[in-house]
Amino acid sequence: MKDLQVKQIVYTEEAIRRRTEELGKQITADYEGKELILIGVLKGSLYFFSDLTRAIDLPIGVDLISIGNIPDTTSQTGIVRIMKDLDLTITGKHVLLIEDILRTGLTTAYLLQSLATRKPADIRVCTLLYNPDRLLINVPIAYYGFEVNRNWLVGYGMDVDEKWRNLPYIAELNR
């Protein structure tokens, strides 16, 4: 791709496909007979969410959520708020929050707290990538694709300055 300065491909298209299928099978077995809703966190989880939901052999519900930072004139920091809320009701249902990558876990913690107020049966997290050394908050990670310890990853939903999300593989950039 033009202008793309890849240091190395970290996970190939094939490796991601295989791992996603494994996760799909595991989730299918764990949630059989339960009412499950998968919630994808935009935009990063876009492709993982799309492939994972199709790898699950259950009549699941799917929905998307996104959060953003709203500037606030009364503070330096602004406020984190849900920008695109769920369309489905999750009360009494099992919820799996789908993330592309867990870094500090602050965003996921915010979403978990917010979704918990809607009283689902339970909420767990499935992330394609996570870095256990950088995770600041104990979020309930039920499933993960790969452990990573690299910076500047792009592709398969992940971006740098909104670029390279549409790469079919995950790459580390030269920075």
Partner 1 sequence: MSIITISRQVGSLGDEVAEALSSKLDWELITRNQLIDRFFADKANDKQKHLLNESAKFYLSEIEGYGTYKDLLEQSLYNLAGNSSAILVGFGSQVIFAGNPDAVHVRIIAPEKTRITRIRKKYSVSETEAGQILAMADTKHKRFVSTVFGEDITNSSLYHITLNTSKLGVDECTAAIIALQREHELRCRLLKENEKMDTLDHQTDLPVFKNPSEAEFARILDMYQIAWKYEPKTFPVEWDAEGNITLAFSPDFYLTQFDTYLELTTMNQKYVTEKNRKLKKVRELYPGTNIRIVYKKDFISLIERFKMTYTGDGESCT
Binding site for partner 1 (CB under 8 A): 69, 75-80, 103-104, 106-107, 109-110, 113-114, 134-139, 151
| 30-56: burial string, b at 16+ Cβ within 10 Å, e else | ebeeebbbbbbbbebbbbbbebbbebb
CB closer to partner 1 out of 53 and 127: 127
Structure tokens given for 59:
């009549």
CB closer to partner 1 out of 9 and 109: 109
Q: How far is the CB of 74 from partner 1 (least distance, A)?
A: 12
CB closer to partner 1 out of 24 and 120: 120
Q: How far is the CB of 3 from partner 1 (least distance, A)?
A: 22
Q: How far is the CB of 58 from partner 1 (least distance, A)?
A: 29
Of 51, 27, 54, 36, whose CA–CA distance to 123 is shortest?
A: 36
**CA–CA separation, 41 vs 29, rounded Å?**
23
